[in-house]
Amino acid sequence: MIKKLLVLIVLCMPMMAMGADANKKKSEEPVVHLTDEQIYQELKKLAMVFEIARENFVEEADEKKMLEGAMAGMLGALDPHSSYLPAEDFKEFNEKSHGEFGGLGIQVTSDRGAVRVIAPIDDTPAARAGIQAGDYVTHVDGDQVFDLTLNQVVKKMKGRPGTKVKLTIISDGQEPRDVTLKRAIIKVKSVKYEAKGDDEKIGYVRISEFGATTSKEIKEALTALEKKGVIGYVLDVRNNPGGYLTAAIDVADAFLDSGEIVSTRGKNKADIDRVYAKSGDMTNGKPVVVLINHGSASASEIVAGALQDNGRGLVMGSQSFGKGSVQQQKPLGDGTAIHITIARYYTPSGHSIQNEGITPDVEVLHSKVEVLEKKKSMYSEASFKNSLKNDMSKKNKDKAKKKDDDDAPAELSDAEKDALDYQLQRGMDMVRAMAKMASKKSTESVDDTAPDKSKALAEKKDVKNKDVKNKDDKSKDVKNKDEKSKDVKKK
């Protein structure tokens, strides 16, 4: 089986490389605009191809399938995110957008003829199977996907909850592997939150995707965490493939008191739509660290870019995905629809995310802590010749054996998972440091005003004393005058 899959990789990789070259050439070629007459001739040719294919194909032709394929191909020629949605796909998309759908919990995109994973959704069959952002899906139930559209591949992965599907996955630098997943109803609660840390509470907010309920959920989360008295926030949008633009705007707005959030620019470069934050930071200016990685795409990048460019949050992690385009859904009136890319979006500083992504302020790659010191050293008292033996050695060994038996591998607790999450730990450390710096700065500000207050009080006291002295001097003058007047009378 491995040998067969290795042969497949050899065959597939040149295809992908050729696709990359084709895309590069395509982007360098100037756009050719046709006249109305030329467009009419091309449409006549399309109709001619349809008629010839329908009449001459060896089997009974499915006209609807042929026409839908033509529309899908037309939109797919524009970019990877524009597509035609048949009635069934359009219905499933709407169900998914409202927080519950059937499938594997995996967000995918078309990448040079292959199907690439943008990110798995938290707590879904795909996430539990270890599928990661950047993986490629080459086969679904043994059928290769290179000659299928993205919608066709997604449809093959979906199915009745409880049924199984086998995916062949290629991860970077690894041999292909088969993963069997059980389909399930995917219930997406897009925002999870808790106060982490032992002594100082840190508000941890995880957003798995930007859906229809995200705006409401983020407000509930921040309100609850503020009541717990957290010192700062870690906003985790790692492996978040994006979602609604409006949800991303609302999330960024919750952390901002003012400033631009995002701008979108369509075909007409002069037509720029800017969105600004409303007054009212729900976190009261507390430190914010945003965690991103190469699975953070689209709406996630809008939030990270908005907080980064406004100086409101520190972005940590690795370079994000780089999807900086806006899609709009346009229903066609018969239960079908199209997704069409209508604009690019830009961060407040004018940076285009497309194909570049968000660069973190502090790069923290996904890592693990490795124990460098051995449990038992080769050099110790026990290594000396004729060293005295431990008379309790047998009992200690029995105790150690019992402890090893008791410590058999078990499912990790949430705290243990957090401890192994290197990026999260560094993010929490950064929030603690930022909170301490803010506290120190506030204290120094109060101390700086103290001498000014003392000086003002001293000056006020001096003025008062001078007034009293002047009054006394005046009294003396009056007394002297009276005495002089008496002397004159006597004379």
Q: Say which of 122, 236, 253, 309 is annotated catalytic.
A: 309
Q: How far is CA 350 from CA 174, 255, 261, 344, 347, in A?
A: 38, 20, 11, 11, 5
List the strands of the sheet with 202-207, edge to edge.
Answer: 191-196, 202-207, 233-236, 288-292, 314-317, 362-363
CA distance 217 to 206: 11
- Told to judge if 309 belongs to the known catalytic residues of this protein, a careful annotator would answer yes
Nearest Cα to 137, choosing from 126, 124, 122?
Answer: 126
Helices first, then strands: H and E counts in the chain = 12, 19
For residues 124 and 106, give the distance between their C-alpha atoms in angstroms, rounded to a whole number.
Answer: 8
Residues with Cβ within 8 Å of residue 99, at least 6 apart in sequence: 187, 188, 189, 190, 211, 212, 213
Q: Is 461 a catalytic residue?
A: no
Q: Which 3 state secondary structure label does DSSP give 67?
A: helix
- Dig out the tokens for 400 from the structure: 């150690």
Q: ∠345-424-406 over CA atoms, to 5°?
A: 145
Residue with tokens 């209508």: 342
Which residue type is seen at 85? L
Secondary element (H or E) of residue 83: strand 83-85
- E-strand stretches of 391-433: none
Residues ≥6 apart with Cβ < 8 Å to 103: 157, 158, 159, 183, 184, 186
Burial class (CB in 10 A: 0-12, 13-18, 19+), 321: buried
CB 121 within 8 A of CB 107: yes
Residue 474: Cβ-neighbour burial (10 angstroms; 0-12, 13-18, 19+): exposed
Catalytic residue among 135, 300, 323, 421: 323
385 is catalytic: no
Among residues 208, 215, 296, 298, the one annotated as catalytic is: 298
* DSSP letters spanning 282-339: TTTT--EEEEE-TT--THHHHHHHHHHHTTS-EEEES------EEEEEEE-SSS-EEE
Residues designated as active site: 298, 309, 323
